[in-house]
Structures are given as structure tokens and as C-alpha cells.
A and B are shown apart, each in its own frame.
Chain A
Amino acid sequence: MSDDAHLRLQAAIPALRRYARVLTRDPSQADDLVQDCLERALTRLHQVRGQPDLRAWLFTIAHRLNVNHWRRFRRFVSWTESMQPEQLQEADQLPYLEWQEVVQAFGHLSDDHRQIMMLVSVEGLQYGVVAEILDLPIGTVMSRLSRARAALHSLVEHEERPVLRRVK
């Protein structure tokens, strides 16, 4: 297989790792899932010849592996424990804190809601593509998305937080 396909695969790894963390809630298990997924992907690269963006294909493999195998071995690790907040370079931490509110609320969503939010809202994949990844009818994707957004918002709304608004 061409090196070009390998480059496309390599380019999709950060997104794959992030999605795997949503699936497993545990960074080290997520990376084991990623490795499993990449090994499978390498044997099937002929399936995606000419496809520039391999994310959806990799997410499909990861989702199926998770459903069939990985989920059985999952330990409970809470999202907040497993998150490793990266030190941001920006001098201004305010946006970081505001995003963190939403990220924390996201961590409290159900697995189904987190998956759909990751694929649609964060990865920006089309609804039809997401339906294929999750092996669901598109109507279910839409209603799940709507419920996930409402759930996220109510968590953000009810979170206790200090006042972060900038005072000029």
C-alpha cells in the first residue's frame, strides 16, 4: 500500500485517540484500543483508496471493536480523573476555564450522548456518516443529538461556578 495512505492514517491518529477516550473513558485503555484499531486498519487500507479523510472509517472500526470486545474489560474511571488538562499557552486563562465548564459537563453525559456529541459537534461529521459509524438509523442519530444537546446545556446551566466574566 502506498505511503500516501499511511500519511492519511497517521494524520487521523490524534482524532482517533480522542474518540477512543470518549469510548473508553480511560486514556491508557483508549490507546490500547487505538493500537488495535490501527493494526486492523493497516490490513484494510485498500478499502479507503482515494479517500482523503480517514476519520469516519477509523471511528467505525473503533466503535465496532469497542462494542464487541473492549467494553467488556472496561474499568470504571471517571472522566474527570482521566482527563489530563493540558497547560495552555495563552496568557489569558479565561477562555480555557469557560471551555472547561462545557468539557466537564460533557464528561457527565451518558456514553451515547458523548459519542454523538464528539462525532457531530466536535469532529463535524455529517449526520449520514455518523449514522453509519454508529450503525443507527439517521432518525435515531437526530433525536439522540437533540437530546444530547439539551442534556449538555442543562448540565452547563446547573453547574456551580464562580463568576468568570471579565470586568473591564
Chain B
Amino acid sequence: MTQPDRPVTEDDLQAWVDGFLSPERLRTVEDWLESHPETLQRVMTWKNEREALRAGLGAELRQPIPARFNISNLRQRSAMHSSMPRMAASIAIALSIGFDSGWFLRDRRVPVGLAAVEQEATIVREASKGSTITESNVVQLTAWGGKMLGRPVQPPDLSAAGYHLVGGQLVTTDHGPACVFFYKDNSGARISLFVRPMYGVDVTAPMRPMQHLPGYLWAQNGLGISMVADTSMSSLHTLADHARDLMAKAS
């Protein structure tokens, strides 16, 4: 079971879609997927449909539970059937209707699609100043990130444009985990690249400027990406185009 070079099977692909692979196996399967783009496309489609189905059928879990399923009522009924003495109803049980069913979240408004990426990238930029993983650990970060995001994530090499990878971070958002990579140029100007999978909405979207920050936002190949600079800079649009091209080539 632990041979790392065991050939990739159809079962591995299913387990990739469901996020059930062990870290070692995940690496093997994702290495293999990189050289099999058609299969990668297929499993990513399955994964997207899996997420859409989950989201679409999630509404059913939020429906209120009919009173007939109140456990204390059912207990009384079954007590009558089995004529066994039972304890009286518990208030805790009555209160637990809707427990763990997302009921409390139903009125919360979370933006979707690229709008959500924009909000997250803005929050992350503020929150992540300071504690970051250093460059030497970026390999580890991309491995984690790949695992958490359920798909390979590689930071683009922007050195030709004068920006060097200096670190990164794995963060959580309302829409699941995301990776942030930090780059610096020789003058010390910093940009961050925020990357997370898109679920159903804005799986690909054209680049647009961000509303409140010097930055650009787009989605390609199922990933939502934003590039944000610490200060406004004229070359940022070109740099974002460059990153997008590099990431398109890599996938």
C-alpha cells in the first residue's frame, strides 16, 4: 500500500476528487496528473460538480425539522410500542432542533465568486503582515496548499519581471483554504498573490482592477487569483498579465 510509485489507478482519481488520498499518495497522483492534462481536466470537472451538488443539496439540510421527528415524541411512541418505561423529555433535545444543520448561517450574506475573492484578499493582506513562511518553506507550503485546496498550486516565477518569491501563507476563508504568496523586488516593494479554488461561480473571469486596493483580480482554470501591491504602481497590470500567462502555461 505504501509503495510511492504504484501506478495511478481509477480508484486514485476518485479518491483525489473526494480528498481521501494520503499526503504521499496525493503527491504521486498530482505529479501524474500534471503530465496527463486530459485526465486532470476530467477529475477537476468531477470535483466541481461534486462541490456544486453539495452546495445545491445543502439547502435541504437547512429545512426545519418537522415536530414528528422530535426525539422525545418518538421516544414516547416507541415506549408505548415496547411498553418499556422511559425518561421524560429533555429540554435540551427540543432546543437542539436545527443543531449542526447550518440553520444559524442561513441569513448571513457572504459574497460569491470573484467578489468573495476580492474581499478575502483584502482581509488576508491586512492579517498576514508579519507572520509568513520564508522562501525555503515555500515548497512545503505548495505541498500543503495543494492538499488543502485539493489541487496543485504553484506560485508563478516572476523573477524575469524583477520580483522574487520571499514567502507565503496558507489561510482559511469563508470559501475554504487559500494560498498567499509574497514577492519583493530589489527596492523592497512587496506584492502578494492570493490563490484559491472557485466553486461553481466565476470559474474563469476576465481580469479587473480591485475596488479598494492597488490590485487586480481574475479567475483562470478554476482558480480565483488576486495580485495586490502595497502601494499603487503603474506596472502592476502588466505584472498581473505576466503572472496569469505563467500560471496558464503551468496548468
Chain A residues with a Cβ under 8 A of chain B:
3, 6-7, 9-11, 13-15, 17-18, 21, 31, 34-35, 38-39, 42-43, 85-86, 88-92, 94-96, 98-103, 106, 117-118, 120-122, 124, 126-127, 142, 145-146, 149, 152-153, 156, 166, 168
Select the stretch in B74-82, B148-156, B179-187 that faces chain A: B74-82
Contact A100 B56, CB 8 Å, known A10-B97, A42-B74, A86-B62: yes
Picked from A118, A127, A149, the residue with its CB within 8 Å of the CB of B46 is A149
Q: B205 near A166 (CB under 8 angstroms)?
A: yes
**Do residues B68 and A31 form an inter-chain contact, with CB atoms below 8 A?**
yes
* B10-A103 in contact (CB<8A): no
Partner of A38, one of B11, B74, B90, B106: B74
Whether A126 and B69, one on each chain, are in contact in the complex, defined by CB atoms closer than 8 angstroms, is: no
CB atoms of A168 and B205 under 8 A apart: yes
Residues on the B chain within 8 Å of A99, using CB? 52-53, 55-56, 200
A110 smallest CB distance to B (angstroms): 16
Asked if A14 meets B63 with Cβ closer than 8 Å, knowing A127-B20, A142-B10, the reply is yes
Within 8 A of A (CB), among B184-243: 200-202, 205-206, 208
Seed contacts A15-B61, A121-B53, A142-B11; 18 additional CB < 8 Å A-B pairs? A3-B92, A3-B93, A6-B72, A6-B93, A9-B71, A10-B69, A17-B60, A18-B60, A21-B60, A31-B68, A38-B74, A42-B75, A89-B108, A94-B112, A103-B56, A106-B57, A120-B18, A127-B15
Interface contact A34-B69, CB-CB below 8 Å:
yes
A38 to B66 alpha-carbon distance, docked (Å): 13
* CB-based closest 9 A-B pairs: A99-B56, A103-B56, A102-B52, A14-B61, A86-B59, A121-B50, A14-B101, A18-B60, A11-B100
Chain B residues, CB < 8 A from A153: 45-46, 49
Bound Cα distance A1, B57 (Å): 32
Point out the residue from B50, B52, B59, B208 that lies within 8 Å of A168, measured CB to CB: B208
- In the complex where A39-B77, A120-B18, A156-B49 touch, is A10 in contact with B93 (Cβ < 8 A)? yes
Chain B residues closer than 8 Å to A91, beta-carbon distance: 109
A90 smallest CB distance to B (angstroms): 7
Quick one: which of A15, A95, A124 contacts B200, CB cutoff 8 A? A95
A101 to B60, CA, bound (A): 16
Please give, as numbers and ranges, the residues of chain A lying within 8 Å of B106 by CB-CB distance.
Answer: 89
Q: How large is the interface on B (under 10, 10 to 19, 20 to 34, 35 or more residues)?
A: 35 or more
Residues 4-38 of B contacting A (Cβ, < 8 Å): 10-11, 13-15, 17-18, 20
Indicate whether A124 sits within 8 Å of B18 (C-beta atoms), given known contacts A31-B66, A43-B78, A102-B49: yes
B104 part of interface (Cβ distance < 8 Å): no
Contact residues in B for A39 (Cβ distance below 8 Å): 74, 77-78, 81
Taking the complex as formed, is B126 at the interface, i.e. its CB lies under 8 A from any CB of chain A?
no
Q: Shortest beta-carbon distance, B91 to chain A, in Å?
A: 10
B189 smallest CB distance to A (angstroms): 28
27 contacts between A and B (CB under 8 A): A3-B90, A6-B72, A7-B92, A10-B69, A10-B97, A11-B96, A14-B60, A14-B62, A18-B57, A35-B69, A39-B78, A85-B59, A86-B62, A86-B63, A88-B59, A92-B112, A92-B113, A99-B52, A99-B53, A103-B57, A106-B56, A106-B57, A121-B54, A146-B13, A153-B45, A166-B205, A168-B114
CA distance A98 to B198 in the complex (A): 13
Q: Are A126 and B20 in contact (CB under 8 A)?
A: yes
The reply on B174 being an interface residue by CB < 8 A is: no
- Chain A residue at minimal CB-CB distance from B70: A10
Kindly state the separation between the CA atoms of A80 and B63 in the bound complex, as whole angstroms.
18
Which residues from 80 to 119 on chain B have a C-beta closer than 8 Å to any C-beta of chain A? 81-82, 90, 92-93, 96-97, 99-101, 106-114
